[in-house]
Chain A
Amino acid sequence: MGAKLIVETQRLSDLEIRDLCGQGDRAAQLRLFRDHKKRVHAILYRILGSNQDIEDLLQETFLEVFRALPRFRGESQLGTWISCICSRVAFNYIKKRKPKPEPLDEARHLPVAAPGSDDIVDSRAAAVRLYVALSKIETKQRIAFALHVIDGRSMQKVADMTESTLVATKSRVLRARKRIAKLATRDPYLARYLSEQEQTP
């Protein structure tokens, strides 16, 4: 039987990872990808919801990360820095995205009537409705709302991620809330979902 050689995994600093990736070290690139893939996926999902282009966006985000890595100076944690790039990729995607073909517009296929009092709001369908509503509001407001209200990140964290001031971020969240609340007045299903989010401990 072959003897096993055990080597302690040494934690590399963010800057060491940057340098190794810059040298084209495939193992370091893999390490960076694997260490941060869940974080990037979660951010993209929160901002965009269930999305058919998620694989392409993940790839695009990491390519942006690797391209920009030589400029990372370690002033923030690598994860935070990657999150900024991720929210930027999501922002660009929303801005550039063509409207979905009408026949398959998700909103069109969701229940129109309000659920009856005994109905349980299907969270998945409700989430789709929420993201359809979000798609109708301004991009920066949408991102701030998704990261703060849906994902529960602090305003400061959202401001850092979106490279904005705290004041601007608060203002965006506030405006997004108002807009979503207004949209919910025309969508009882969404209204009920938002109300449940308030009530659930």
Chain B
Amino acid sequence: MSTFSNPPEVEELSDLSWKRIEARTLDRLSEEAMVGGAEDETQKRTSILWPLLGGTALAAAAALFVLISGTSSDTGEVAGGETAGGKTAGEVVALESLAQPPSRENSLITTHQEASLLDIGPASVEIAANSSVYIAQHGEAVTLILDSGSLSIQSKGGALIVRAGELEIHAEDSSFVVNRTELGSEVAVNQGSLVIHQGSQQFTLRAKAQWPIPASEAELAAAETIAPSATKASRKSPRELFEEGQGLEASSPRSAIASYKKAWSSKGPWSANALFAHARLEEARGNRKRAQKLLRRYLRVYPNGANSQDARELLR
């Protein structure tokens, strides 16, 4: 054996995972820069950072933003009317003018080949490439309507509402990603928490959680919203909860099950382990029906998970 002729394939990460990692990394970097005094806070609040296209700030500004005022069409195409600055709709904003933050009241922003970053009211927003977002600003309140594509948002207090399809997301002091696809809207929370309205239902999404969430988790999230005190139930990470469950299995299996349940109710890599461990413990306690239900759930959510083979064997 010299080198492997057919090495194991690298498991790809989902786009949502990449967006989450990217947002977390850059958020952390910003925090470190702020601590180190590397950033001019005032400039940060007011500046727009444009895509790096030409290597210079001026060339970077040419990211095909088309800013218009008034209403926009549903498809994100430029609609008629005038911009806040009095320019005819659809007119390309002069490069020089991009050095200053344009008026963003009732603007449609469409990105093409490059993502763009902007600070707007209570949030820093990164608009992914090939995205279209309508911005409505009324005093302090800002509403972003995602028509297509993806947004990474760091809200810094103040009222921020993001609409993506049938979802309405209310955010304060949180970092999250919203992605709108043909199949629906996806949300991933990096920091803080969000309140999501879908029709008449309301859900609370915490850090590391994603939307859509599995049915049982949705029930949990909804329950948390109904009983706010329950939202403070546990601040332990899924991993800590999992390890807690491990430690309690022998002395207090019921408590162990409660810990596992909390762990697998949250998103993240330890969720799979916790779900399987819960199923295994129910099996060991003779609760065969419950165990089977959990194992089937495990296989449905993680068909290729590390314990999928065992889950299938236990189901037989």
Contact = CB atoms under 8 A, between A and B. Distances in A.
Contacts of B66: 2
A128 to B, nearest CB: 7
A12 to B, nearest CB: 5
Interface in B32-82: 32-33, 38-39, 49-55, 59-60, 62, 64, 66, 68, 77-78
A124 to B, nearest CB: 7
Contacts of A16: 55
Nearest to A22: B38
B99 interface: no
B53 A7 contact: yes
Interface string B1-44: 11111111011010001101110111011101100001100000
Interface string A44-83: 0110011011110011001100110000000000000000
Given A109-B307, A128-B306, A2 B5 contact: no
Interface in B226-253: 242-243, 246
A119 to B, nearest CB: 14
Contacts of A10: 53-55, 59
Contacts of A28: 52
Interface string A1-40: 1111101111010001000100011111111011001000
Nearest to B112: A4
Contact of A12 (B1, B30, B55, B113): B55
Q: From DSSP, what is the main secondary structure of chain A's interface residues?
A: helix
Interface residues of B, number: 65
A45 B38 CA distance: 33
B213 interface: no
A106 B304 CA distance: 13
A52 to B, nearest CB: 4
A24 B52 CA distance: 13
Contacts of B101: none
Contact of B117 (A7, A27, A52, A123): A27
Interface string A176-187: 010000000000
Q: From DSSP, what is the main secondary structure of chain B's interface residues?
A: loop
A197 interface: yes
Contacts of A126: 8
A124 B270 contact: no
A148 interface: yes
B277 interface: yes
A135 B38 CA distance: 41
Contacts of A27: 49-52, 60, 117
Given A5-B64, A10-B59, A50 B25 contact: no
B211 to A, nearest CB: 18
Interface stretch (A85-93, A149-157, A161-169): A149-157
A201 interface: yes
A116 interface: no
A9 B53 contact: yes
Contact of B10 (A4, A37, A46): A46
A3 B92 contact: yes
A104 B64 contact: no
A67 B29 CA distance: 9
A175 interface: no
Contacts of A53: 269
B219 interface: no
A123 B8 CA distance: 7
Interface of B: 1-8, 10-11, 13, 17-18, 20-22, 24-26, 28-30, 32-33, 38-39, 49-55, 59-60, 62, 64, 66, 68, 77-78, 89-92, 110, 112-113, 115, 117, 126, 242-243, 246, 269-270, 273, 276-277, 280, 304, 306-307, 309-310
Interface of A: 1-5, 7-10, 12, 16, 20, 24-31, 33-34, 37, 41-42, 45-46, 49-50, 52-55, 58-59, 62-63, 66-67, 101, 103-104, 106, 109-111, 123-128, 130, 148-152, 177, 194, 196-201
29 contacts: A1-B78, A5-B62, A10-B53, A10-B59, A25-B52, A26-B49, A27-B50, A28-B52, A33-B22, A34-B22, A37-B21, A45-B10, A62-B21, A63-B32, A66-B29, A101-B243, A103-B280, A104-B276, A104-B307, A106-B306, A109-B306, A125-B309, A126-B8, A149-B3, A151-B4, A151-B7, A196-B6, A197-B1, A197-B5
Given A26-B49, A63-B25, 14 more contacts: A2-B89, A4-B112, A7-B62, A20-B52, A53-B269, A58-B21, A59-B21, A101-B242, A109-B306, A109-B307, A123-B6, A124-B8, A127-B8, A198-B1
